[in-house]
């Protein structure tokens, strides 16, 4: 009996042996869970047409968990070959710890502008560790059918914006704004840094905050928070427990009129909503003001230096810099705007509208993405909690700003 048991045990152990890594296999780490289908059905097949024999799998983790779980996998040596890069400091830290390879000398890097590359370079520009893929633009989506039904015009100023929402609230069963505070990140990355640049004048305010000439408690940084404090009245019941996914559903099901947007959601609503989608810029404080938009260099792709398929990974990156990819990505993964210099046409009307804002307004990136987060582990989290607290009404705009400033003062 014992011999038999030992045999079974050995057989079982043998069956569990580690799987070998096949050559020509690439795994992409990403937080873009919504794009899984698009990658698997459009992007990867297109790549394989040009480069047969390299098997690519797209393996995303939910956005809120991406950084932590990627860190774990990098430290444990289990991360994929290609790593989707958050912009600026987060990826810089990965590079400094040796988790991203220097790809400055890849020939295809010449297809990108300095601004695009800047999001994934060391401060002195001596090394580039991710290839720029796309930027995202923030604003509001709206349900054109609801706007038509109620005879609403697209708002231009903050006052218009609230007038429109008041009207929706008073005259219809629709929820004016599809936004929840359960997850927290969207209150900062979409709402605060999306509507705020109009108040802090884009790059001017962002740079002043970095240099210390401006403080979070200044009026032009508190004003967008004060605006957010008023949003609670226009959200659906129980918005405190509403997740980002819930908000997407609420808007896609046609139950809400307006949706604070990142352009990446265009693709989602094109497939999931059965009404015509529209978009408008974040409202300016007063009519005729210069407008600013959050046009965030959001997504890049780097190589894990521990990858066993480095050569294949470089082949993939080079293809990423091609015009073919730029066109495919911008049009299929709608709402991500390729950062390469190639001239491409945009088919989707909403995407075209949003990219058109670049001509009318000044672009800036998210307020704290560059430099500010450095060495301040909790700044991003504090911003999320501030946005959450202000909208939920558990924190005043002034207190929230002061809380963030106290972290900046460290």
Partner 1 sequence: MTKAGRFPWHIVVFVLPGFFIYTLFSAWPLLDTLILSFFDQNDTGARWFSGLDNYRLVLLDPDLSAGFWNALWNNFKFFLVHVLVQNPIGLMLAALLSLKDLRGARSYRTLIFMPTLLSVVIIGFIWQLILSPLWGVSETLLEAIGMANYFDAWLGKESSALLTLALISVWQFVGIPMMLIYASLLAIPEELLDAAYVDGASPLRIFWQIKLPLILPTLGLVTILTFIGNFNAFDLIYAVKGALAGPNFSTDILGSFFYRTFFGFQSSLGSPTLGSTVASLMFLVILAGVMVYFWLVQRRLHRYQL
Partner 2 sequence: MSTKTKKKVNTALVHTVLLFYTVIALFPIILILINAFKSRKGIFRDPLALPTEKTFSTVGFEKVFAKSDFVLFFGNSMIVTLVSLFFILLFGAMLAWALSEYKFKGRQLLTVFMAIGIMVPIRLGTVSILELMVSLDLVNTLTALILVYIAQGLPLAIFILSEYMAQIPDELKEAARCDDVSEYSIFFHIILPLTKPAIATVAVFTMIPIWNDLWFPLILAPGEETRTLTLGVQQFIGQYTTDWNSVLASLSLAVLPVLVLYLIFSRQLIRGLTSGAVK
Question: Would you tell me which residues interact with partner 2 (CB under 8 A)?
Answer: 1-2, 5, 8-9, 12-13, 15-19, 33-34, 36-37, 57, 59-62, 65, 69, 72-73, 75-78, 243-245, 248-249, 252-253, 268, 272
Q: Of these, 37, 40, 65, 347, which contacts partner 1 (CB under 8 A)?
A: 65
Q: Name which of 229, 236, 217 is nearest 393 in CA terms.
A: 229
Between β-strands 55-60 and 25-30, what pairing exists: parallel, antiparallel or unpaired?
parallel
Token output for 26:
């690439």
Choose among partner 1, partner 2, none what residue 53 binds, the Cβ cut-off being 5 to 8 Å by kind.
none
Between β-strands 82-85 and 131-143, what pairing exists: parallel, antiparallel or unpaired?
unpaired
Token output for 194:
């999306």
- Of the pair 283, 302, the CB lying nearest partner 1 is at 302
> Rounded to an integer, what distance in angstroms lies between the CA atom of residue 321 and that of residue 317?
7
- Of the pair 28, 400, the CB lying nearest partner 2 is at 28
Choose among partner 1, partner 2, none what residue 403 binds, the Cβ cut-off being 5 to 8 Å by kind.
none
Is 81 one of the binding residues for partner 1 (CB under 8 A)? Answer: no
Between β-strands 256-262 and 131-143, what pairing exists: parallel, antiparallel or unpaired?
antiparallel
Helix, strand or coil, per DSSP, at residue 143: strand
Q: Of these, 48, 59, 72, 113, which contacts partner 1 (CB under 8 A)?
A: 72
Residues from 198 through 237 that contact partner 1 (CB under 8 A): 236-237
Name the DSSP letter for residue 136. E
- Of the pair 183, 353, the CB lying nearest partner 1 is at 183
Minimum distance, C-beta of residue 34 to partner 1, in the bound complex (Å):
17
Choose among partner 1, partner 2, none what residue 159 binds, the Cβ cut-off being 5 to 8 Å by kind.
none
Asked if 270 contacts 145 with a C-beta cutoff of 8 angstroms, the reply is no
> Rounded to an integer, what distance in angstroms lies between the CA atom of residue 259 and that of residue 231?
12
Binding mask 174-203 for partner 1 (x = CB under 8 A): ------xxxxx-------------------
Asked if 294 contacts 164 with a C-beta cutoff of 8 angstroms, the reply is no
CA-CA distances (angstroms) from residue 33 to 43, 62, 95, 211, 360? 14, 6, 24, 36, 32
Choose among partner 2, partner 1, none what residue 77 binds, the Cβ cut-off being 5 to 8 Å by kind.
partner 2
Choose among partner 2, partner 1, none what residue 18 binds, the Cβ cut-off being 5 to 8 Å by kind.
partner 2
Helix, strand or coil, per DSSP, at residue 228: helix
Q: Name which of 183, 288, 292 is nearest 240 in CA terms.
A: 183
Instruction: Give the range of 60-68, 138-146, 276-284, 307-315 binding partner 1 by CB under 8 A.
Output: 60-68
- Of the pair 59, 406, the CB lying nearest partner 2 is at 59
Binding mask 374-393 for partner 1 (x = CB under 8 A): ---xxxxx--xx--xx--x-
Alpha helix ranges (H) inside 182-322? 185-186, 193-195, 197-200, 203-211, 219-229, 244-252, 265-272, 310-320
> Rounded to an integer, what distance in angstroms lies between the CA atom of residue 132 and that of residue 113?
9
Between β-strands 292-303 and 362-364, what pairing exists: parallel, antiparallel or unpaired?
parallel
Residues from 88 through 117 that contact partner 1 (CB under 8 A): 89-90, 93, 96-97
Choose among partner 1, partner 2, none what residue 5 binds, the Cβ cut-off being 5 to 8 Å by kind.
partner 2
> Rounded to an integer, what distance in angstroms lies between the CA atom of residue 348 and that of residue 357?
15
Token output for 262:
């990142």
Token output for 145:
């059918």
Choose among partner 1, partner 2, none what residue 241 binds, the Cβ cut-off being 5 to 8 Å by kind.
partner 1
Choose among partner 1, partner 2, none what residue 198 binds, the Cβ cut-off being 5 to 8 Å by kind.
none
Q: Of these, 24, 45, 125, 238, which contacts partner 1 (CB under 8 A)?
A: 238
Residues that bind partner 1 (CB under 8 A): 64-65, 67-69, 71-72, 89-90, 93, 96-97, 180-184, 236-242, 246, 249-250, 373, 377-381, 384-385, 388-389, 392, 394, 410
């Amino acid at each position: 009996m014992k011999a038999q048991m030992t045999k079974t045990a050995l057989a079982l152990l043998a069956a569990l042996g580690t799987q070998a890594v096949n050559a020509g296999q690439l795994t992409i780490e990403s937080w873009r869970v919504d794009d899984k289908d698009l990658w698997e059905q459009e992007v990867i097949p297109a790549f394989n047409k040009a480069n047969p024999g390299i098997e690519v799998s797209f393996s995303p983790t939910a956005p809120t968990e991406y950084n932590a779980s990627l860190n774990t996998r990098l430290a444990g040596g289990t991360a994929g070959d290609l790593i989707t890069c958050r912009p600026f400091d987060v990826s810089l830290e990965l590079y400094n710890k040796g988790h991203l390879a220097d790809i400055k000398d890849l020939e295809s890097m010449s297809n990108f502008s300095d601004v695009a590359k800047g999001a994934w370079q060391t401060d002195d520009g001596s090394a580039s560790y991710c290839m720029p893929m796309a930027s995202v633009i923030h604003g509001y989506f709206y349900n054109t059918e609801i706007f038509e039904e109620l005879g609403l015009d697209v708002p231009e100023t903050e006052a218009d914006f609230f007038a429109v929402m008041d009207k929706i609230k008073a005259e219809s069963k629709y929820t004016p704004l599809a936004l929840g505070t359960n997850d927290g990140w969207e209150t900062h990355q979409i709402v605060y840094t999306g509507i705020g640049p109009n108040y802090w004048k884009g790059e001017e305010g962002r740079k002043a905050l970095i240099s210390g000439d401006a403080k979070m408690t200044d009026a032009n940084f508190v004003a967008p928070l004060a605006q957010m404090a008023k949003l609670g009245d226009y959200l659906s019941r129980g918005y405190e427990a509403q997740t980002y996914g819930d908000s997407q559903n609420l808007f896609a099901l046609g139950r809400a009129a307006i949706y604070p947007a990142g352009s990446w959601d265009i693709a989602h609503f094109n497939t999931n909503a059965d009404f015509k989608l529209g978009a408008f810029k974040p409202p300016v404080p007063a009519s005729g003001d210069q407008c600013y938009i959050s046009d965030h260099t959001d997504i890049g792709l780097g190589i894990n230096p521990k990858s066993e398929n480095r050569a294949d990974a470089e082949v993939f990156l080079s293809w990423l810099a091609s015009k073919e990819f730029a066109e495919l990505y911008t049009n299929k993964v709608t709402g991500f705007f390729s950062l390469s210099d190639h001239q491409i046409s945009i088919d989707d009307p909403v995407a075209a509208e949003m990219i058109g804002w670049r001509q009318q307004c000044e672009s800036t990136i998210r307020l704290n993405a560059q430099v500010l987060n450095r060495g301040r582990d909790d700044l991003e989290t504090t911003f999320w909690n501030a946005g959450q607290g202000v909208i939920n009404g558990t924190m005043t705009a002034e207190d929230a700003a002061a809380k963030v400033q106290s972290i900046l003062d460290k």
